[in-house]
Amino acid sequence: MSKKKNAEAYQKTFAFRFFRWLSGEKDPYTGTLEMHPQKEYQPDREAALRHEKEHDAIMDKVYDTEHNRWLHLFHRLYQTTSVLFCLFLIALLLVTVSYLPANGTVTRPVNNEVSARYIEKGLEETGAVNIVAGMILDYRAFDTLGESHVLFVATITVLILLRLNKTEKDEAEVSDRRFEPKNDAILQVVATFLVPVIIIFGIYIILNGHLGPGGGFSGGAVIGAGLVLYLNAFGFQKTERFFTEKTYKWVCFFSLSFYCLAKSYSFYTGANHLHSVIPKGTPGAILSSGLILPLNIAVGLVVACTIYAFYAMFRKGGF
Amino acid sequence: MDFICNFPFFSILLSLFSGTVCSVLSAKAARIVNRVVILAVGLMSAALLFYLLSTGESFIYWMGHFPAPWGNEIRAGVLEAGMALFFCIIMYLSMAGGAHKLPSEVVESKHNLYYILVNLLLSSLLALVYTNDMFTAYVFVEINTISACGLIMIRQVGRTIEAAVRYMIMSLLGSGLLLFGLCIMYDLTGHLLMSNIKESVELIVANGEYQVPLIVSVALMCTGLCIKSALFPFHAWLPDAYGYSTVSSAAILSSLVSKGYIFLLIKIIYRVIGFSVFNSTRMIDVLFVFGLMGMIFGSLSAIKENDIRRMIAFSSVAQIGYIYMGFGMGTQAGMVASIFHILSHAATKSLLFIAAIGLTDVSGGSRKFVDLTGAAYRNKWAGAAFTVGSLSMVGIPLFSGFISKLLFAQAAVQVEGKMLASLIVLGISTVLNAVYFMKTVIRIYTSEPEAPYEGITFRNMRAYAVTLVCFILLNIILGVSSQPVVDMIGQGLAMFA
Amino acid sequence: MGPNLLANYGEAVSAILFCIGFTNLLLQTNLIKKIIGLNIMDSAIYLFLAEKGYIAGRAAPIVADGITSTESYINPIPSGLVLTGIVVSVSVTALMLSLTIRLYTRYHTLDLDEISTQLKREGR
């Protein structure tokens, strides 16, 4: 049985709009998409000339090869010696490699009692199914504590270099609006679908760090990538509503403090041969393996915020 | 285990944690936290030093619930505790001496970031001093590098940023080599803890197996740390970095950062490779030659320099040459002399940087020697301090530099093949040191009645003057009562084995 | 030449890559190329470490079916070291890139020699 729609109802259907768009009668994005008309290129002749002249003068000074035979010779020598140096280094290391124990065999010195205990007792002693996670967050946790502080100190240096003060920030805002696309509809639609998926995937990786491949660093990087995609699609005005410099500061502070204090407790009890009250749980369950899961979450938060902070700093010099 | 054995762990974690805390504090609170942390760590290290001197034995501290080849460890002996104490003293004095300049050098909103960097630098230095694990050492070497880079470029003028780039490039080359050497070493031994690696290395040497990779690995690690500590041909970044960064940064960088790497190298030589194995490689001759070249060329560059802070920076290149010359001698005495020189150079160089800023401040901010004429009369305390530092650098008795030169000379006499070369270069270098330091001292004490600059009185710079007095006292203590310090170094080295 | 060059072909490749990266970082004048060199160098080291952990015919070190015998898994230590190393190299790369951005906005060039010349001309 077929029912005939009247013309008015038909015009509301998806099919009608789709065919209209297909035949090019109407662009659904007119009026919703922000479009910048291309400005005619108007070169500032004087400034360009001045800049070019300055540049030439410097280049002449740095690479005055025509008038300076020595410099010319030096550049030649530099190139040859760098290639020779590289070849020498390669030869040296290849000889070294040729004397190393053969790859892939069991009898190498690397496969000793250390790795044996990690594999055989790892599940029992740390409660983590993922032996690598158990190793870096329990057996050798001090390295990993240092490593998250490497990331922290790197963000601090990036903040020192690129963070702008109030007036500079407004200028940066203007130039950011000029150079970066705004409200790109394709990007926005794709981002609406992808960002939740990416972030949920990141959370999954973090929460399963002790059960399978993954962990705080990789999961945090995935979440950070999701945030960067969101920022690219919707711009700073949207992200500012939930992520400002304050958010970054406090999230990092709480995660790193938790990390520091939790690990201090475990180091202190370990070194003084005290009993640690943190339960190991049943291996394989999501709530197991003692401190590894909370540590993974803390690390994941720090890494996600750091990745986003790096991107925001590189792009605009602020959040 | 006594409770005091927790102190190395407390000091590392306290300074790491205070770095995180400073990120949410105001500049003023961050400054107080920074001072308190340095003081607390210093006190703990002092207590630990006395404890270790009374027991006479080093101890191992588990970082976690697992024993030797499986978990991380730190280790404390007399030398480690002494170094930690000394680093804290120098760092506290450097921060105090440069505090009054900080507002004019760094933007107000970035002050708390500055203290974060200092705290993390302290924690990484402590970790490098105490660690007993090669990979932990690598991670903290990176923290050290990045925070040092931050300290260089926090005063944002073109020169410092360029210097920071050059510093980073050199440091990254160094860490790349260090990491590669470490990986080869791991492949040969299967361990990452220093004591376990040493056992395996002894086996390897006894069996005669894997000789080539062992030597290459040692060479890579050594070269990496030499590059990072600015040994002579790798010092291009140094004058700009020390010459234009903030005062406290310059003092800390010159006296502590490179010394942290050198101390790690000492640890690697003694606790990873073994002193005798290290001496049987050709590496010590290379270190010796580059050390000698650094002593001469560093001083020559310093003589040519017309800028007081860059001159002091170039003098650092020469002094690091001394330290590596001591390594290159390949004897216990040479090593003791080198370690003493680490102390004496750290005390003197930070003093010079802090004093130099007092002199340039009363000369209209200019660092050129022409403008510095008579500066010592305008700022008497800084003038006196600079003179003490210069005399110590030249090696006049009563000051610490004399003792280290004496120890170097004594060590050189015991080495057959290298005696002549080291004594001659030591002599030449002393003369060159005297040329440029005495030139500066005479210049600042040449009275110039028509100087356009105003002097400064004690009342206006109390904290600064007190800092300078502390520095001078430290220098004289090292110079006059050197015997206990030398004994302690010997005892610490004996604990390393 | 030792006996194991062919067996260690993975390590050989990583050694060559390391040298290429090292030379790039040391001798290129363009800052971005230097950073690329740095990343090649670091990745080469991770390749080297990954080769160290490999044992022919064994699975990744994630306990499957409750089997915890050394016969079934590769060495987990190098994997952990690589993880740590990667984070370090990310941090360092970010720092180098931001330094480059600062220098570029100020001097409009990526050439380190050129920047030095401009600095000397500024005379500060």
Residues of C in contact with B139 (CB under 8 A): 84, 88
Mutate to test the interface with A, among B20, B161, B162 (most CBs of A within 10 A): B20
Mean pLDDT, range C3-19, rounded to an integer: 89
* Interface check A74 vs C, CB under 8 A: no
pLDDT class of A181 with cuts at 50, 70, 90? low
In the predicted structure, residue A233 carries a pLDDT above the cut 60: yes
Among A62, A93, A136, whose Cβ lies nearest the Cβ of C19? Answer: A93
Among A100, A140, A153, whose Cβ lies nearest the Cβ of B120? Answer: A153
Paired tokens of A97 = 């490699």
Among C19, C76, C95, whose Cβ lies nearest the Cβ of A86? Answer: C19
Instruction: With CB atoms and an 8 Å threshold, state whether A153 touches B9.
Output: no
Instruction: With CB atoms and an 8 Å threshold, state whether B146 touches A153.
Output: yes
Instruction: With CB atoms and an 8 Å threshold, state whether A114 touches C114.
Output: no
| β-pairing verdict for B72-76 and B59-63 | antiparallel
Number of neighbours of residue B373 by Cβ within 10 angstroms:
18
> With contact defined as beta carbons under 8 Å apart, do C42 and C89 qualify?
yes
DSSP character for B4? G
Q: Which of B145, B214, B153 is nearest to B173 (CA)?
A: B145
- Rounded CA separation B460/C100 (Å): 41
What's the pLDDT score for residue B99? 86
Of all helices (H) and strands (E), which one includes residue C77? helix C76-107
What's the pLDDT score for residue A30? 66
Residue numbers of A between 141 and 180 with CB closer than 8 Å to C = 143-144, 147-148, 150-151, 153-155, 157-158, 161-162
Neighbours of chain A (3+ CB pairs under 8 A): B, C
In the predicted structure, residue A14 carries a pLDDT above the cut 70: yes
Among C22, C84, C91, whose Cβ lies nearest the Cβ of B146? Answer: C91
Among C2, C92, C99, whose Cβ lies nearest the Cβ of B212? Answer: C2
In the predicted structure, residue A276 carries a pLDDT above the cut 80: no
Grouping H, G, I as helix, E, B as strand and the rest as coil, residue C69 is coil
What's the pLDDT score for residue B212? 87
pLDDT digits 0-9 by tens, C43-79: 999 999 998 888 888 888 888 877 778 788 888 899 9
pLDDT class of A214 with cuts at 50, 70, 90? confident
Among B9, B23, B140, whose Cβ lies nearest the Cβ of A271? Answer: B9
Instruction: With CB atoms and an 8 Å threshold, state whether C22 touches B176.
Output: yes
Residue numbers of A between 80 and 139 with CB closer than 8 Å to C = 82, 85-86, 89-90, 93-106, 110-111, 114-116, 118-124, 129-132, 135-136
* Interface check B153 vs C, CB under 8 A: yes
- Rounded CA separation B243/B250 (Å): 7
Residues of C in contact with B159 (CB under 8 A): 119, 124
What's the pLDDT score for residue C19? 92
- Least CA distance to A217: which residue of chain C? C87
Instruction: With CB atoms and an 8 Å threshold, state whether B172 touches C25.
Output: yes
Instruction: With CB atoms and an 8 Å threshold, state whether B162 touches C103.
Output: yes
> With contact defined as beta carbons under 8 Å apart, do B363 and B452 qualify?
no
Instruction: With CB atoms and an 8 Å threshold, state whether B150 touches A153.
Output: yes
Grouping H, G, I as helix, E, B as strand and the rest as coil, residue B72 is strand
pTM (two decimals): 0.91
pLDDT digits 0-9 by tens, B435-465: 889 989 998 888 877 767 777 777 778 888 8
In the predicted structure, residue C124 carries a pLDDT above the cut 60: no
What's the pLDDT score for residue C43? 94
Instruction: With CB atoms and an 8 Å threshold, state whether A101 touches B107.
Output: no
Would you list the DSSP string of B370-392? TTTTTHHHHSHHHHHHHHHHHHH
* Interface check B21 vs A, CB under 8 A: yes
Among C8, C53, C87, whose Cβ lies nearest the Cβ of A147? Answer: C87
pLDDT digits 0-9 by tens, A108-136: 888 888 888 888 888 888 888 888 888 88
Burial of A80 (0-12, 13-18, 19+ CB in 10 A): exposed
- This model of the complex carries an ipTM of 0.95
Number of neighbours of residue B484 by Cβ within 10 angstroms:
10
Grouping H, G, I as helix, E, B as strand and the rest as coil, residue C62 is strand
What's the pLDDT score for residue C113? 82
Task: Report percent pLDDT > 70 for chain A.
Answer: 87
Q: Which residue has the tokens 């240092």?
A: A146
* Closest-CA distance of chain C to residue A30, Å: 37
The three-point CA angle B156-B159-B160 to 5° equals 50
User: For residue A182, which phi and psi values (nearest 5 degrees)?
Assistant: -115, 140
* Count of residues in chain B: 497
Of all helices (H) and strands (E), which one includes residue B76? strand B72-76
What's the pLDDT score for residue B407? 92
pLDDT class of C123 with cuts at 50, 70, 90? low
* Interface check C17 vs B, CB under 8 A: no
* Interface check C38 vs B, CB under 8 A: yes
pLDDT class of C95 with cuts at 50, 70, 90? very high
Q: Which of B410, B405, B264, B427 is nearest to B344 (CA)?
A: B405
pLDDT digits 0-9 by tens, C25-44: 888 889 999 999 999 999 99
Burial of A281 (0-12, 13-18, 19+ CB in 10 A): middle
- Rounded CA separation B56/A189 (Å): 71
- Least CA distance to A52: which residue of chain C? C108
Residues of A in contact with B113 (CB under 8 A): 156, 159-160
Positions of chain B with pLDDT under 70: 451
What rounded mean pLDDT belongs to chain B?
Answer: 89
- Least CA distance to C100: which residue of chain A? A161
* Interface check C92 vs B, CB under 8 A: yes
DSSP character for A104? B
Would you list the DSSP string of B128-172? HHHB-BHHHHHHHHHHHHHHHHHHHHTS-SHHHHHHHHHHHHHHH
Q: Which residue has the tokens 């270190």?
A: B287
Residues of C in contact with B223 (CB under 8 A): none
Instruction: With CB atoms and an 8 Å threshold, state whether B176 touches C41.
Output: yes
What's the pLDDT score for residue C69? 80
* Interface check A310 vs C, CB under 8 A: yes
What's the pLDDT score for residue A40? 65
* Interface check A61 vs C, CB under 8 A: yes
- Rounded CA separation B71/B56 (Å): 25
Paired tokens of A111 = 């496969």
* Closest-CA distance of chain C to residue B174, Å: 10
pLDDT digits 0-9 by tens, B311-358: 999 999 999 999 999 998 888 899 999 999 999 999 999 999 999 988
* Interface check B406 vs A, CB under 8 A: no
Paired tokens of B115 = 């203290």
Would you list the DSSP string of B6-28? GHHHHHHHHHHHHHHHHTTS-HH
Residues of B in contact with C103 (CB under 8 A): 161-162, 165
* Interface check A224 vs C, CB under 8 A: no
